[in-house]
Amino acid sequence: MSSEKMVEFKDFNKINDFEWEIPLTYRRDMQVPVRVFASEEIVRQSLKDKSIIQAVNSSSLPGLLNYVSVMPDVHQGYGFPIGGVAATDVQSGVISPGGIGYDINCGVRLLSSNISLGEAESEIETLSNLLFQEVPTGVGRGGTVSITKKDFARICETGSRWALKNGFASEMDVDLTESRGFLEGADFDCVSERAIERGIKQAGSLGSGNHFLEVDVVEEIFDTRAAEAMGLMVGNLALQIHCGSRGFGHQICSDFVREFQTSVRKYNIVLPDRELVCAPLQSEEGQRYLAAMRCAANFAFCNRQLLTHRARAVFERVFEKMAPDFHLRMVYDLAHNIGKIETHTLNGKQTKVCVHRKGATRAFGPHHEEIPSRYHLIGQPVLIPGSMGTASWVLNGTDTGMEKTFGSCCHGAGRLMSRTQAKKSVRGGDLLRELRDDGILVKAGSMSGLAEEAPQAYKDVDLVIESAVGAGLARKVARLKPVVVIKG
Amino acid sequence: MDDDYPEYKEIGHTADLQIIAYGKTLEELFLNAGKGMYYVAGAVLGKAKNKSRPILINENDPETLLISYLEKLLILVDRHLMTRSPRINISFTELSGEIPLYSLLEIKNEIKAVTYHEMEIVKVKGIYQTKITFDV
């Protein structure tokens, strides 16, 4: 068995134009097949890095159900690919920190406004300057909220509810967050002191890397009823916030990836990649990881809420005189990197599973009990940010997605170019000017960091969306165009 | 490979940052891995603090030992500290020594985690080497 053997296009069985399968016969250690939901063009593109072989490696985990799903924005990660979904049986399966990712509950939220770009145009520069000034971004910046260890523990155990209780959120904000901004079963005692040290000073901070705050304009609407339910109107401004659990989540993942190196030996689990390490979900260490991971997920929900509070204050300051009834309302907030215990229909039976989503969003179809009432008829909003110079998309979940991918969809455009390669081929200053010429104001702490996140470093988000929609995982609701980008 | 080998070199990774570190001994490999990490982080060394800190790490295998060592350096970075020419001894899965402390003037990239991805300490023509992938 070799984890290094690369997958070739001929190894796939075509199911339809947007579904391709690597069968169990491909490698002896596979427990389930791998299924890629993408166009032929994207499948061929994904063979250029290790993302598909990483999906094959992931399919060796014990207790997997159905198949490992690969989203159209897939790219190489470590252990699991980014853009992978794997569900394990809650009784006989495992939980793998690498299947959830280092930035636990890295996610995105979208807020809609009732002011148009036309009305706001003269204030956009002021808005961008104030957002950059007021929202802590970049390497080593602390958060906006000074908290005690007791507060931090409460945030970890109650998520966005802490923000609500302390005046940083409205009931509507919390109600329109995935899992209402709170995963039950978080246990602060399962978190290391080092993780606490890293997280406690970062509440209400954006961080660096691919995290951003972006003001968009709603460019096009594809589903009027769904857009109306989400408060999205053509020409109006919207705000996206993309960030996660900062150093806290990374430390929790690092701690358990290290601890589980021993667990796999203890439970006699043989894996082709050390980043895939896992423990039986019902084991003591599996339960401890789950409880610690939930702390980071709750922290991330609360962190995005604290950033929302800060950004809202800036928007209100800029627009309140111009539009006295101005508001910035939550559309939805969802996680990209998370492990959830969910109930899905498998072979006609309701089955409890542990869904690992790494670089993938939950995308539940209409009528699911987990969806807020305002979205019951249309399905859960699915938010797909593009790269900084390109469109972002709002979709909604479907019944087909529930059947095929445990109610999951892609999470972004997906990287195409390495950071090193992007820095070599793009100059941050030039990019800044080009985007400005296209009507996009960018504020960034570092020019090299900006070059790493250049649009050309990512796949064409529109092609990714065509694949997700073509595969039936989601339906189009609206397309957004960036106006202001604040990069960490 | 003979005596003419780099301390480390940066290689491309789609989402994150990756280096290969080299060393004639495990100690040299670890020191060069630390230098490589500082390089990709864009860390700028400041003044010597004229004090040092003892270091002692025990792990189950050399790769985990390297990750733990690099994480110790990241803890220092969080506290606006760096090290230069640390004195370390490695005995299979135990690392001990002294880390002289310097101030950290600047850092450009936040290294959020050191991963096991493609990490395998191997000896090629008498030189230890390993890939190290940093989550950023």
**ipTM for the complex shown:** 0.90
Chain B's closest residue to A445, CA to CA, is: B108
**A193-200 vs A246-266: helix axis angle to the nearest 10?**
160
Residue A112 belongs to domain with CATH number: 3.90.1860.10
Best of B17, B75, B112 to disrupt the A interface by mutation (most A CBs within 10 Å)? B112
Hey, are the CB atoms on A418 and B12 less than 8 Å from each other? yes
**A1 confidence band (pLDDT: 50, 70, 90):** very low
Number of domains, chain A: 1
More confident residue, A458 or A383: A383
Average pLDDT over residues A325-331: 95
Hey, are the CB atoms on B116 and A417 less than 8 Å from each other? no
Please measure the distance between the N-terminal and C-terminal CA atoms of chain B and give it in whole angstroms: 31
Q: So what's the pLDDT on residue A4?
A: 62
Residue B50 touches partner A, C-beta closer than 8 Å? no
pTM: 0.94
Domain regions of chain B by residue span? 8-135
Flag whether A442 is in a domain: no
Flag whether A435 is in a domain: no
Q: Does residue A460 register a pLDDT over 50?
A: yes
Bridge-based pairing of strands A279-280 and A19-22 is unpaired
CB burial string A314-347: b at 16+ within 10 A, e below: bbeebbeeeeeebebbbbbbbbbbbbbebebebe
Give the minimum alpha-carbon distance from A199 to chain B in angstroms, rounded to a whole number.
11
Range name among A210-214, A223-227, A392-396 with the lowest pLDDT average: A210-214
List chain A residues with CB under 8 Å of B114: 254
> In A64-126, where do the E strands start and end?
68-78, 80-89, 94-95, 107-116
pLDDT tens-digit series, residues A82-96: 999 999 999 999 999
pLDDT tens-digit series, residues A311-320: 999 999 999 8
**CB-CB: which of A208, A273, A274 is closest to B110?**
A208
Q: So what's the pLDDT on residue A323?
A: 85
CATH superfamily of B8-135: Archease domain (3.55.10.10)
Three-state DSSP state, A123: helix
Percent of chain A with pLDDT over 70: 99
Q: So what's the pLDDT on residue B126?
A: 95
Q: Does residue B71 register a pLDDT over 50?
A: yes
**A181 confidence band (pLDDT: 50, 70, 90):** very high
Hey, are the CB atoms on A194 and B75 less than 8 Å from each other? yes
Give dist(CA A424, CA A417) in Å, integer. Answer: 11
Q: Does residue A144 register a pLDDT over 90?
A: no
Instruction: Give one DSSP letter per residue of B49-93, joined into a string.
Output: EEEEEEEEEE-SSHHHHHHHHHHHHHHHHHTTEEESS-EEEEETT
Q: Decide if A374 contacts A226 (C-beta within 8 A).
A: no
pLDDT tens-digit series, residues A239-248: 999 999 999 9
Flag whether A353 is in a domain: yes
Average pLDDT over residues A193-202: 93
> What are the Cα distances from residue A69, in Å, to A56, A305, A314, A346, B12?
10, 30, 40, 15, 26
Average pLDDT over residues A205-226: 93
Average pLDDT, chain B: 93
Range name among A436-445, A468-477, B59-68, B96-105 with the lowest pLDDT average: A436-445
Q: Which domain holds residue A374?
A: 9-416+458-487
Flag whether A85 is in a domain: yes
**A268 confidence band (pLDDT: 50, 70, 90):** very high
| Residue A75 known to be catalytic | no
Q: Does residue A428 register a pLDDT over 90?
A: no
Q: Does residue A3 register a pLDDT over 70?
A: no
Residue B122 touches partner A, C-beta closer than 8 Å? no
Average pLDDT over residues B33-53: 95
Best of A201, A254, A257, A447 to disrupt the B interface by mutation (most B CBs within 10 Å)? A254
Structure-token pair, residue A196: 């606490």
Hey, are the CB atoms on A247 and B11 less than 8 Å from each other? no
Average pLDDT over residues A47-54: 94
Residue B106 touches partner A, C-beta closer than 8 Å? no
Give dist(CA B29, CA B88) in Å, integer. Answer: 11
Average pLDDT, chain A: 94
Nearest CA among A105, A108, A73 for reference residue A337: A105
Q: So what's the pLDDT on residue A324?
A: 83
Hey, are the CB atoms on B136 and A208 less than 8 Å from each other? yes
Q: Does residue A376 register a pLDDT over 80?
A: yes
Three-state DSSP state, A318: helix
Hey, are the CB atoms on A449 and B108 less than 8 Å from each other? yes
Q: Does residue A372 register a pLDDT over 90?
A: yes
Give dist(CA A109, CA A208) in Å, integer. Answer: 17
Give dist(CA A144, CA A141) in Å, integer. Answer: 9
Structure-token pair, residue A201: 């000073």
Flag whether A427 is in a domain: no
Structure-token pair, residue A183: 């995963």
Chain A's closest residue to B108, CA to CA, is: A139
Chain A's closest residue to B75, CA to CA, is: A194
Q: Decide if A291 contacts A187 (C-beta within 8 A).
A: yes
How many A×B Cβ pairs under 8 Å?
Answer: 93
Give the minimum alpha-carbon distance from B32 to chain A in angstroms, rounded to a whole number.
20
